[in-house]
């Protein structure tokens, strides 16, 4: 029974859940940093930076995460020796970074160009205008897609079981192989992921609601139409 | 343009600082990894050895603890070598690549000695002997020996020597490869498979513990020697492990572990 499996294995799965949470949190934080940098490269005037960002996104988005994890953990072992945790975290960060970069780029470019021009004409420098005027608005627009990407990232983290990590999925596989009960064990694992993601979604919704305060949605929608992304 | 360069400079340094910070706070909690380093436990060197962890009763998890015959043999060997035993799990099909990639010092994961594998790793003396066995669903009357397997759907674990057997006995497109022998056995009653080839002991344990309605069929296909693998060129490790293996066989430790798990000595030829 599912209940039995749940009750007998919860200390184990809670530990695994914690590992999954740590791994995903570290990976997505790094992924946001990578994403922001790549997004700036993409919208910059420099041809070289454009090219780097473009190549990065093409290559990373065009290859499966599992291949990237295995290259990092097994393939590059003669150059860098990474622990399972860091191989998994970096691969996830690099992978998610490519998607997050496009989310950031999209939301930055969705801000009316006139806002930058206005800020500059007030004497703000480009970085200052970016930081104070453009990014806060862009960030708000990025939240729904970002939340979506984080949920995908959390679920994708299950692939690190492939290099032998005892995250939620890895633990589930091991348990099923020793209690001979696949259906129940896998369903218990699914339940843990579901609960994690429901908790996360709750906070994203909260954040979105908080940031939306004082915002006039209709006007914003009108502004958007004038931007050719 | 100048300003923009400065901006990206600031960003880049934030990135670097951020990742440094993260790696600093994260490293303490990272999972067990690469082998060969001295650590913990009175400065003893770690002896890291890999297994699949999904191969009951040789290696499996019990309340989150890795246990089984392979684990205990590794512990006994490490003790004799004056090292600190660190068993770790890796998916079976990546277990030799992982050894190559220096993720651990040895494989104590029920690796069958085959000429093919001898090109990739160095083997110690065998640490147990067992047979490759065919298993089918209870009530199956059409498969009575290996000859009956022609054209039948066979399940085996990826990259195992049982896969080679399956290739010999049926058509290549009738073979299903699994991550774990246990998963393959669990797929027998679903009808997706006609037979599973795996280690005798693994299957018999599965039957005994009521994993599913499964029976063994015919004589074992072969008697295999299972040995510990180390990286090519690491002759010194082979000798060190062989010496420790001899010692645990002589002083009765081996016998004790084998009796505990199987009720007999599985190093002796049957």
Matching residue, tokens 């960030």: A139
pLDDT at B36 over 50: no
Output the pLDDT for position A212. 79
3-state helix, strand, coil in chain B (%, to 5): 40, 30, 30
> Which has more confidence, B7 or A16?
A16
The structural domains of chain A, ordered by start, are: 1-212 (1.10.3720.10)
Confidence class for position A228, pLDDT limits 50, 70, 90: very low
Question: Where does B90-204 show beta strands of DSSP type E?
Answer: 106-112, 121-137, 154-157, 175-178, 195-199
Domain with CATH 3.40.190.10 in chain B: 46-129+226-262, 131-223
Q: Is A180 in contact with B209 (Cβ distance < 8 A)?
A: yes
* B205 in Cβ contact with B57 (< 8 Å): yes
Distance (Å, rounded) from C-alpha B33 to C-alpha B210?
35
* Non-local CB neighbours of A221 within 8 Å, separated by 6+ positions: none
User: Which residue among A12, A33, A73 places its CB closest to the CB of B18?
Assistant: A33
Look up the CATH architecture of domain B131-223.
Answer: 3-Layer(aba) Sandwich (3.40)
Cβ contacts of A125 on chain B, cutoff 8 Å: 3
pLDDT at A177 over 90: no
User: Which residue among A19, A78, A178 places its CB closest to the CB of B62?
Assistant: A178
Cβ contacts of B180 on chain A, cutoff 8 Å: 173, 177
Confidence class for position B85, pLDDT limits 50, 70, 90: very high
C-alpha distances (whole Å) from B41 to each of A83, A122, B46, B198, B261 are 20, 64, 9, 38, 28
Cβ contacts of B33 on chain A, cutoff 8 Å: 81-85
Cβ contacts of A26 on chain B, cutoff 8 Å: 22, 26
Distance (Å, rounded) from C-alpha A105 to C-alpha A54?
12
Distance (Å, rounded) from C-alpha A211 to C-alpha A213?
5
Give the CATH superfamily of B46-129+226-262.
Answer: Periplasmic binding protein-like II (3.40.190.10)
> Which has more confidence, B2 or B201?
B201
Q: Is B18 in contact with A165 (Cβ distance < 8 A)?
A: no
Q: How many Å lie between the alpha carbon of B153 and the closest alpha carbon of chain A?
A: 21
Matching residue, tokens 């020996």: B145
Q: Is A19 in contact with B31 (Cβ distance < 8 A)?
A: yes
Instruction: Please tell me if residue B13 touches chain A, with a CB cutoff of 8 Å.
Output: no
pLDDT digits (tens, 9 = 90+) for B141-180: 899 999 999 999 999 999 899 999 999 999 999 999 998 9
User: Which residue among B56, B97, B209 places its CB closest to the CB of A177?
Assistant: B56
The DSSP code for A90 is H
Cβ contacts of B159 on chain A, cutoff 8 Å: none
pLDDT digits (tens, 9 = 90+) for A92-151: 999 999 999 999 999 999 999 999 999 999 999 999 999 999 999 999 999 999 999 999
Query: What size, in residues, is chain B?
Result: 270
Assessment of whether the complete model's pTM goes beyond 0.80: no
C-alpha distances (whole Å) from A85 to each of A46, A166, B46, B228, B245 are 35, 10, 19, 26, 32
SS3 B222: strand
pLDDT at B23 over 70: no
User: Which residue among B7, B64, B209 places its CB closest to the CB of A127?
Assistant: B7
Instruction: Please tell me if residue B145 touches chain A, with a CB cutoff of 8 Å.
Output: no
Of the candidate ranges B57-66, B104-113, B249-258, the one whose mean pLDDT is the lowest: B57-66
Count interface pairs A-B at CB distance under 8 A. 138
User: Which residue among A12, A74, A171 places its CB closest to the CB of B98?
Assistant: A74
Chain A contact probe: residue of B1, B12, B33 with most A CBs at under 10 A: B33
- Backbone torsions φ then ψ of B212, nearest 5 degrees: 175, 165
Distance (Å, rounded) from C-alpha A43 to C-alpha A108?
9
The 10 Å Cβ neighbour count of residue A93 is 24
Q: Is A127 in contact with B100 (Cβ distance < 8 A)?
A: no
Q: Is A127 in contact with B34 (Cβ distance < 8 A)?
A: no
User: Which residue among A33, A165, A177 places its CB closest to the CB of B54?
Assistant: A177
pLDDT at B29 over 80: no
3-state helix, strand, coil in chain A (%, to 5): 85, 0, 15
Q: Is B54 in contact with A86 (Cβ distance < 8 A)?
A: no
Mean pLDDT of A219-223: 50
């Amino acid at each position: 029974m599912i209940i039995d499996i749940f009750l007998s294995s919860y200390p184990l799965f809670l530990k695994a859940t914690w590992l999954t949470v740590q791994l995903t949190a570290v990976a997505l934080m790094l992924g946001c940093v990578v994403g922001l940098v790549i997004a700036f490269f993409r919208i910059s005037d420099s041809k070289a930076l454009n090219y780097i960002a473009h190549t990065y996104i093409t290559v990373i988005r065009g290859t499966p995460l599992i291949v990237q994890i295995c290259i990092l953990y097994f393939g590059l072992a003669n150059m860098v020796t990474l622990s399972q945790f860091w191989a998994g975290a970096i691969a996830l960060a690099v992978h998610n970074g490519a998607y997050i970069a496009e989310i950031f780029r999209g939301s930055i470019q969705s801000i009316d160009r006139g806002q930058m021009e206005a800020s500059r004409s007030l004497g703000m420098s480009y970085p200052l205008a970016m930081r104070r005027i453009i990014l806060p608005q862009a960030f708000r627009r990025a939240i729904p897609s970002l939340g979506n990407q984080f949920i995908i990232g959390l679920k994708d983290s299950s692939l690190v079981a492939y290099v032998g990590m005892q995250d939620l999925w890895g633990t589930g596989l091991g348990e099923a192989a020793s209690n001979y009960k696949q259906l129940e064990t896998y369903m218990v694992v699914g339940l843990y992921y579901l609960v994690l993601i429901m908790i996360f979604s709750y906070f994203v919704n909260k954040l979105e609601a908080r940031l939306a305060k004082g915002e006039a949605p209709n006007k914003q929608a009108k502004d958007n139409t004038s931007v050719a992304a | 343009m100048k300003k923009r360069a400065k901006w990206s400079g600031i960003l880049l340094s934030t990135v670097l600082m951020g990742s440094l910070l993260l790696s600093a706070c994260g490293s303490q909690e990272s999972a067990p990894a690469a082998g060969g380093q001295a650590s913990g436990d009175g400065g003893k060197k770690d002896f890291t050895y890999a297994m699949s962890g999904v191969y009951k009763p040789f290696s499996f998890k019990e309340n989150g603890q890795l246990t089984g015959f392979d684990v205990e043999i590794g512990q006994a060997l490490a003790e004799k070598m004056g090292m600190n035993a660190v068993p770790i799990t890796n998916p079976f099909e990546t277990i030799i690549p992982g050894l190559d990639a220096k993720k651990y010092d040895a494989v104590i994961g029920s690796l069958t000695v085959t000429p093919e594998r001898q090109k990739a790793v160095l083997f110690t003396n065998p640490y147990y002997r067992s047979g490759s066995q065919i298993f089918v669903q209870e009530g199956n009357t059409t498969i009575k020996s290996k000859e009956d397997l022609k054209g039948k759907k066979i399940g085996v674990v990826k990259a195992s020597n049982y896969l080679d057997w399956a290739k010999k006995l049926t058509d290549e497109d009738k073979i299903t490869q699994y991550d774990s022998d246990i998963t393959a056995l669990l797929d027998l009653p679903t009808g997706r498979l006609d037979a599973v080839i795996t280690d005798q002991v693994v299957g018999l344990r599965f039957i005994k513990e009521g994993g599913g309605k499964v029976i063994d069929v015919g004589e074992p296909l072969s008697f295999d020697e299972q040995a510990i693998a180390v990286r090519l060129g690491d002759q010194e490790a082979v000798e060190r492990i062989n010496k420790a293996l001899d010692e645990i066989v002589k002083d009765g430790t081996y016998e004790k572990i084998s009796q505990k798990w199987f009720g007999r000595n599985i190093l002796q030829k049957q």
